[in-house]
């Protein structure tokens, strides 16, 4: 981290004593653990334009949720931009991602973690909070996808996008969603999934998108899938819905 970034961070969290790169890194950012006299923080930094926009949106979500216990997320401590980068400061959270926890666990514990993930996601889908308003989520996602295809960012093709535009799934009631609800983006503390991270896409939207990304690794593992649905009891996506969101829409994000 360069001097300019350190000094901007210190305005918000006090004199920095130690900085270390976190062992687990995501795909859109660089994450550092930062220790000051006031506490332990994570600084998440992005450098590419698209990822900088996502980071700004994550900052705005975390800021809105700062006092909302019903949706556990890291605490927000600030966001700033430097000439070629953007930076989000949040609380450092103990624990590990569900992906890491599953790698370490025996079968029974894996099943219990997956059930707890289902339960945690169900709670999100049943929560309403002030400051988030219904909008045309799917239409907006398809519009963004179009922009990403045009700029060459997306894995998905223009043809796939056309299909997604023409064959939209039937409407279901919109809920609060995470928006990138893979096992990489939830944290496990004391054997339970109990925190959402990477919340740039958290908004009111289609809960089938979260559900599809949540179960994507277990489509051919019946036991794991059943464990998820022991926790997540509100709805089960059809094969077609799963394909639309996981093999379709997600290809553009």
Ligand X SMILES: Nc1ncnc2c1ncn2[C@@H]1O[C@H](COP(=O)(O)OP(=O)(O)O)[C@@H](O)[C@H]1O
Q: Which residues bind ligand X (CB under 6 A)?
A: 22, 24-29, 31, 42, 44, 74, 90-93, 97, 184-185, 197-198
Which residue has the CB atom at the shortest distance from ligand X? 26
In the complex, what is the shortest distance from the CB of residue 92 to ligand X, in angstroms, rounded to a whole number?
5
Least Cβ distance, residue 158 to ligand X (angstroms):
26
Residue 194 interacting entry, from ligand X, Mg ion, none, C-beta within 5 to 8 Å by type = none
CA pair distance 84, 47, nearest whole angstrom: 6
Residue 198 C-beta: closest distance to ligand X, Å:
4
Instruction: Measure the CA–CA gap between 83 and 24, rounded to whole angstroms.
Output: 26
Q: Answer whether 103's CB lies under 8 Å from 164's CB.
A: no
Nearer to ligand X by Cβ, of 21 and 172: the residue is 21
CA distance 186 to 191: 12
Closest by CA position to 184, among listed 4, 64, 27, 50: 27
Residue closer to ligand X (CB basis): 116 or 241: 116
CA distance 241 to 239: 6
Give whichever of 49 and 238 is closer to ligand X, judged by the CB atom: 49
Nearest approach in angstroms of CB 242 to ligand X is: 22
- Please say whether the beta carbons of 19 and 33 come within 8 A: yes
Q: Quote the least distance from Cβ 199 to ligand X, whole Å.
A: 8
The least CB distance from residue 26 to Mg ion, in Å, is: 4
* Dist CA 160 CA 149 (whole Å): 10
Residue 203 binding partner per list ligand X, Mg ion, none, with a CB distance cut-off of 5 to 8 Å that depends on partner kind: none
Comparing CB distances to ligand X, the nearer of 47 and 137 is 47
Q: Which residues of 77-101 are buried (b: 16+ CB within 10 A; e: fewer)?
A: bbbbeeeebbbbbbebbebbbbebb
Residues near Mg ion (CB under 5 A) are: 26, 184-185, 198
42 binds, among ligand X, Mg ion, none (CB under 5 to 8 A by kind): ligand X
Cβ atoms of 36 and 15 within 8 Å: the answer is yes
- In terms of CB distance, is 26 or 169 closer to Mg ion? 26
Residue 74 binds which entry of ligand X, Mg ion, none, CB below 5-8 Å type-dependent: ligand X
The entry of ligand X, Mg ion, none that residue 89 binds, CB within 5 to 8 Å by partner kind: none
Contacts by 131-134 with C-beta closer than 8 Å and gap 24+? 131/64, 132/64, 132/176, 132/203, 132/204, 133/204, 134/174, 134/204
């Amino acid at each position: 981290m360069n001097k300019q970034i350190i000094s901007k961070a210190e305005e918000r969290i006090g004199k920095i004593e130690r900085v270390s790169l976190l062992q687990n890194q995501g795909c859109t950012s660089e994450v550092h653990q930062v220790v000051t006299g006031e506490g332990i923080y994570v600084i998440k930094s992005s450098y590419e334009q698209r990822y900088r926009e996502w980071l700004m949106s994550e900052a705005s979500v975390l800021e809105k949720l700062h006092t909302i216990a019903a949706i556990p997320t890291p605490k927000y401590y600030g966001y700033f931009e430097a000439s070629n980068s953007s930076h989000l400061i949040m609380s450092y959270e103990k624990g590990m991602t569900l992906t890491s926890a599953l790698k370490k666990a025996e079968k029974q514990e894996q099943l219990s973690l997956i059930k707890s993930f289902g339960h945690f996601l169900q709670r999100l889908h049943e929560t309403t909070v002030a400051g988030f308003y219904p909008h045309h989520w799917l239409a907006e996602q398809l519009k963004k996808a179009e922009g990403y295809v045009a700029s060459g960012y997306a894995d998905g093709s223009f043809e796939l996008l056309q299909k997604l535009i023409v064959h939209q799934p039937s409407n279901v009631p919109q809920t609060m969603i995470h928006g990138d609800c893979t096992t990489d983006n939830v944290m496990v503390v004391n054997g339970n999934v109990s925190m959402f991270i990477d919340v740039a896409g958290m908004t009111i939207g289609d809960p089938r998108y979260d559900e599809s990304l949540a179960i994507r690794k277990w489509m051919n593992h019946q036991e794991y899938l059943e464990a998820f649905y022991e926790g997540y009891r509100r709805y089960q996506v059809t094969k077609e819905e799963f394909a639309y969101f996981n093999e379709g829409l997600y290809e553009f994000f």
